[in-house]
């Protein structure tokens, strides 16, 4: 089915099931520990052997020699896989560094061996008896030092320019020129990357924790040099991804190689301390923002440049993207520059581009508003645009940023805020309110599904879509229930299996809208098959388990009396996304307390107002947003992969050293969804929400800290050492 004209009225609009805040259908499994994750398939695989991954102890160089004798002689060891004995391996299209390194080492903790043993304890113990002799080479690990060597990347659109930025900036009555930094960050999802693999003849069967089943199949096949048809990949439950499980990682490839070498099913989970340097991370950025405005507060010049680093062959963090679309201004430029660094691979993490980009831009906007003496909400409203500023003939499909800001201001009590920084005390605390705009593009991508109508009237959906905590199981069930006119409990959803039709997968906040649109397409076909089977004529209505058309009223299950009906289709997209800029919008409001003596920041209240098309399930969508707000608080206050600039690795590579928010850091969170549909995005009229929720959060926290203390911190995370020597004098000292 092709979506190339704006959606009109369709069966989803009934909203009997879609749009309702139903509980997750997989909730009873997840809350009882019966949902099975990649390392837990004891039901299908008895007595697997255990693989333990060895990571490189240097950041760059070569392995001179590797002595496996002690490890091989260790009790229970079945096989040891290294680059030396693994046979020829390719590199996945989505990987920058090899997943099994050696003799060349590309980054610290790059996997160099897998020890397979009868038990986990034996594998771990033997792994420590591998003796490696390295020839270390100097590497580049410091973005600030590498900045001058950064180049214009060869891929994507690194530069944009409209009008005459230099002229307009020089002539602007009020100017801001500031540089911001964001640190390397880690996804730190709770389930480590894990895989269970076995060979059934020449066919690889693998359970893994991966957001993108079809990408996974392709890259597993390419790396192992086997046809895609010989890979059966399953990922029914995923313990969090946030972009860190978009790509095949070492656990999957090593489990497959280990199973081949040991002639046994093998399972591998990355040890937590290995994850931070072995897998991908969100790279650090340096961002320079220049804004020029009239005294009345109209932006006339906007420039945003960002520097980031990655391994050779890697990509830049696209931190300037939102700046091309968020505010009006006749003269503008953006630029991305990429430095070569020998740290672990940089890649996508929740809202790549926008998340770090808005961390900088939305402080800059706050700073400019302050310079102008204009309320930061009014300043944003004054510079709103309803068209793509680079292509004014191209309107936004829907853009309700102003409504988000106004609704939030009203609900959060913005009016009562004294605009003067450091003006409000609450006992020993300095109190402050901050705001930031949220912006994230809406991506749509082809997605397929198969739908079955059983003799019992049960509707079964099969698609390789994944549920990484987003609620895919539930919104897909809601979509099928709505389309086929059956209650939710009459729908079965099967996900995350490469035997099922290829879906959008989960990433870039495209999954919810795209995958349900694919289910819509398959259900549309199934409805046609039902109508034909029942010999009905005219427009059919599917309601309450019945099909009504042309004056007849038949039970839906009757259509499958003679045998199951099956329909398969995919939703594909025309050029609506080119003709209309499709984005999602929001506003984040934060109230903080900063300890006047210690500089400790506590978040007191938070509100997000989102305009993101139709909300398919307000309960699960709200969870996506509060989860993203929580991650945004981490980005603002604590998350920071600290680089050892000599040895070349992230030092704090575990969950004690890499500080993600815990219960005590997060207050009750409020979320408001504006009532909206976007007929340009899909027949679901929905858009993405999971990444919008993090966009702008950290800047709203930073702006609240500035409002509380008068201190402008431009380097994340905003830890107390960055405030301590500048705190306002204590009144009660």
Partner 1 sequence: MNESDAIDPSRRDALVFGRDLLLGGAAARWAGPSPAQAATANDPQAPVTVKLTLRVNGTAKSLALDTRTTLLDALREHLHLTGTKKGCDHGQCGACTVIAGGRRINACLSLAVMHDGDEITTIEGLGAPGHLHPMQAAFVRHDAYQCGYCTPGQICSSVAMLEELRRGIPSHAGADVAAAPTATPDELRERMSGNICRCGAYSNIIDAIGEVAGVRT
Q: Looking at the annotation, which residues are catalytic?
A: 691
Q: Which is nearer to partner 1, 55 or 239 (CB)?
A: 239
Contact call for residue 627 and partner 1 (CB under 8 A): yes
Element (H, E) at 204: strand 203-208
Element (H, E) at 93: none
Contact call for residue 469 and ligand FES (CB under 6 A): yes
Beta pairing partners, 399: none
Looking only at residues 628 through 667 of this chain, which bind partner 1 when binding is defined by CB under 8 A? 628-631, 654-656, 660-664, 666-667
- Report, in Å, the least distance between residue 591 CB and partner 1: 15
- Report, in Å, the least distance between residue 23 CB and partner 1: 4
- Report, in Å, the least distance between residue 326 CB and partner 1: 25
Per DSSP, the three-state class of 522 is helix
Q: How many residues bind ligand FES (CB under 6 A)?
A: 3
Contact call for residue 693 and ligand FES (CB under 6 A): no
State which of residues 44, 69, 190, 532 lies at the interface with ligand FES (CB under 6 A). Answer: 190
Q: Which is nearer to partner 1, 32 or 155 (CB)?
A: 32
- Report, in Å, the least distance between residue 469 CB and ligand FES: 5
Contact call for residue 269 and partner 1 (CB under 8 A): yes
Could you give the string, one character per residue 229-268, with x where binding to ligand FES holds by CB under 6 A and - elsewhere?
Answer: -----------x----------------------------
Contact call for residue 657 and ligand FES (CB under 6 A): no
- Report, in Å, the least distance between residue 185 CB and partner 1: 12
Q: Which is nearer to ligand FES, 269 or 560 (CB)?
A: 269
Q: Which is nearer to ligand FES, 120 or 199 (CB)?
A: 120
At a CB cut-off of 8 Å and minimum separation 6, what does 225 contact? 88, 89, 90
Q: Candidates 279-287, 366-374, 403-411, 484-492 — which segment interacts with partner 1 by CB under 8 A?
A: 484-492
Give 526-532's long-range contacts (Cβ < 8 A, gap of 24+): 526/451, 526/453, 526/483, 526/484, 526/565, 526/566, 526/567, 527/483, 527/484, 528/567, 529/559, 529/565, 529/567, 530/453, 530/556, 530/559, 530/565
Nearest C-alpha neighbor of 254 from the set 245, 266, 243: 266
Contact call for residue 24 and partner 1 (CB under 8 A): yes
First CA to last CA distance, the chain: 71
Q: Candidates 156-164, 263-271, 391-399, 561-569 — which segment interacts with partner 1 by CB under 8 A?
A: 263-271
φ, ψ of residue 449 to 5 degrees: the values are -160, 155
Nearest C-alpha neighbor of 161 from the set 291, 393, 290, 335: 335
Q: With 0-12 CB in 10 A as exposed, 13-18 as middle and 19+ as buried, what is 729?
A: exposed
Q: Which is nearer to ligand FES, 357 or 469 (CB)?
A: 469
Give the whole-angstrom CA distance, residue 515 versus residue 477: 11
DSSP secondary structure string, 120-187?
HHHHHHHHTT-EEEEEE------HHHHGGG-B--SSS--EEEES-HHHHHHH-SEEEEEEEEE--B--
- Report, in Å, the least distance between residue 589 CB and ligand FES: 25
Contact call for residue 273 and ligand FES (CB under 6 A): no
Q: Candidates 8-16, 268-276, 428-436, 541-549 — which segment interacts with partner 1 by CB under 8 A?
A: 268-276
Per DSSP, the three-state class of 591 is strand
Contact call for residue 720 and partner 1 (CB under 8 A): no
Q: Which is nearer to partner 1, 181 or 460 (CB)?
A: 460
State which of residues 2, 27, 294, 724 lies at the interface with partner 1 (CB under 8 A). Answer: 27
Contact call for residue 662 and ligand FES (CB under 6 A): no
Give the whole-angstrom CA distance, residue 362 versus residue 712: 13
Q: Which is nearer to ligand FES, 240 or 454 (CB)?
A: 240
Contact call for residue 505 and ligand FES (CB under 6 A): no
DSSP secondary structure string, 631-644?
HHHHHHHT----EE
- Report, in Å, the least distance between residue 482 CB and partner 1: 13
Could you give the string, one character per residue 498-527, with x where binding to partner 1 holds by CB under 8 A and - elsewhere?
Answer: -x----------------------------
Q: Which of ligand FES, partner 1, none is residue 483 near (CB under 5 to 8 Å by kind)?
A: none
Per DSSP, the three-state class of 188 is coil
Q: Which is nearer to ligand FES, 280 or 624 (CB)?
A: 624
Looking only at residues 124 through 163 of this chain, which bind partner 1 when binding is defined by CB under 8 A? 125
State which of residues 3, 7, 41, 556 lies at the interface with partner 1 (CB under 8 A). Answer: 41
Nearest C-alpha neighbor of 484 from the set 458, 502, 463, 447: 458
Q: Which of partner 1, ligand FES, none is residue 256 near (CB under 5 to 8 Å by kind)?
A: none
Give the whole-angstrom CA distance, residue 597 versus residue 594: 9
Give the whole-angstrom CA distance, residue 553 versus residue 561: 16
Binding site for ligand FES (CB under 6 A): 190, 240, 469
């Amino acid at each position: 089915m092709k979506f190339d004209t704006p959606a009109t009225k369709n069966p989803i609009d009934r909203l009997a099931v879609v749009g309702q805040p139903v509980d997750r259908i997989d909730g009873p499994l997840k809350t009882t520990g019966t949902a099975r994750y990649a390392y837990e398939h004891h039901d299908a695989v008895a007595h697997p052997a255990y693989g333990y991954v060895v990571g490189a102890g240097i950041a760059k160089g070569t392995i001179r020699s590797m002595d496996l004798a002690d490890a091989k002689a260790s009790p229970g060891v079945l096989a040891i896989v290294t680059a030396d004995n693994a046979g020829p391996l390719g590199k996945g299209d989505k990987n920058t560094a090899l997943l099994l390194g050696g003799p060349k080492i590309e980054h610290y903790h790059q996997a160099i061996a897998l020890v397979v043993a009868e038990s986990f304890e034996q594998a771990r113990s033997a792994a420590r008896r591998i003796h490696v002799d390295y020839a270390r080479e100097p590497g580049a690990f410091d973005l600030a030092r590498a900045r001058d060597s950064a180049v214009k990347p060869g891929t994507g659109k690194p530069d944009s320019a409209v009008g005459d930025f230099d002229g307009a900036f020089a002539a602007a009555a009020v100017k801001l020129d500031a540089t911001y930094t964001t640190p390397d960050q880690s996804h730190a999802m709770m389930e480590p990357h894990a895989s269970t693999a076995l060979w059934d003849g020449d066919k690889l069967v693998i359970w893994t924790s991966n957001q993108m089943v079809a990408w996974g199949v392709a890259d597993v096949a390419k790396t192992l040099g086997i046809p895609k048809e010989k890979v059966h990949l399953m990922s029914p439950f995923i313990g969090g991804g946030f972009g860190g499980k978009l790509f095949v990682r070492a656990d999957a490839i090593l489990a497959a190689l280990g199973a081949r070498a040991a002639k046994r099913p093998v399972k591998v989970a990355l040890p937590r301390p290995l994850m931070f340097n072995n897998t991908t991370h969100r790279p650090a950025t340096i961002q320079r923002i220049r804004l020029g405005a009239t005294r009345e507060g109209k932006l006339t010049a906007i420039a945003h440049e960002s520097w980031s680093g990655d391994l050779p062959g890697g990509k830049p963090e696209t931190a300037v993207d939102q700046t091309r679309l968020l505010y009006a201004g006749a003269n503008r430029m953006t630029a991305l520059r990429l430095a070569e660094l020998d740290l672990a691979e940089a890649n996508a993490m929740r809202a790549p581009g926008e998340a770090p980009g808005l961390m900088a831009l939305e402080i800059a906007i706050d700073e400019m508003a302050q310079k102008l003496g204009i309320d930061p909400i009014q300043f944003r409203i004054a510079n709103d645009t309803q068209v793509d500023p680079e292509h004014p003939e191209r309107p936004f499909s829907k853009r309700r940023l102003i409504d988000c800001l106004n609704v939030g201001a009203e609900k959060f009590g913005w009016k009562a805020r004294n605009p003067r920084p450091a003006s409000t005390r609450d006992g020993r605390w300095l109190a402050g309110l901050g705001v930031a705009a949220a912006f994230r593009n809406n991506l749509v991508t082809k997605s397929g599904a198969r739908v079955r109508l059983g003799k019992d009237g049960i509707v079964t959906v099969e698609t390789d879509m994944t549920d990484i905590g987003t609620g895919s199981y539930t919104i897909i069930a809601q979509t099928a229930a709505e389309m086929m006119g059956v209650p939710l409990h009459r729908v079965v959803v099967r996900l995350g299996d490469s035997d099922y039709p290829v879906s959008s997968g989960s990433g870039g906040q495209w999954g919810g809208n795209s995958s349900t649109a694919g289910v819509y397409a398959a259900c549309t076909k199934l409805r046609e098959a039902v109508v034909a089977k029942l010999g009905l004529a005219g427009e059919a209505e599917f309601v309450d388990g019945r099909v009504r058309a042309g004056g007849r009223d038949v039970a839906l299950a009757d259509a499958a009396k003679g045998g199951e009906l099956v329909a398969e289709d995919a939703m594909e997209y025309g050029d609506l996304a080119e003709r209309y800029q499709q984005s999602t919008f929001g506003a984040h409001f934060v109230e903080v307390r900063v300890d006047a003596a210690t500089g400790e920041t506590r978040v007191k209240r938070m509100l997000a107002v989102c305009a993101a098309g139709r909300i398919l399930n307000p309960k699960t969508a709200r969870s996506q947003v509060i989860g993203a707000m929580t991650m945004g608080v981490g980005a603002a206050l604590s998350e920071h992969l600290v680089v050892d600039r000599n040895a070349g690795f992230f030092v704090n590579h575990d969950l004690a050293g890499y500080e993600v928010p815990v219960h005590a850091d997060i207050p009750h969170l409020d979320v408001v969804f504006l009532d909206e549909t976007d007929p340009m995005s899909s027949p679901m009229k929905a858009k993405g929400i999971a990444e919008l929720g993090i966009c702008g959060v950290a800047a709203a926290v930073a702006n609240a800290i500035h409002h509380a203390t008068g201190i402008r911190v431009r380097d994340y995370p905003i830890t107390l050492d960055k405030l301590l020597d500048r705190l306002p004098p204590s009144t009660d000292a």
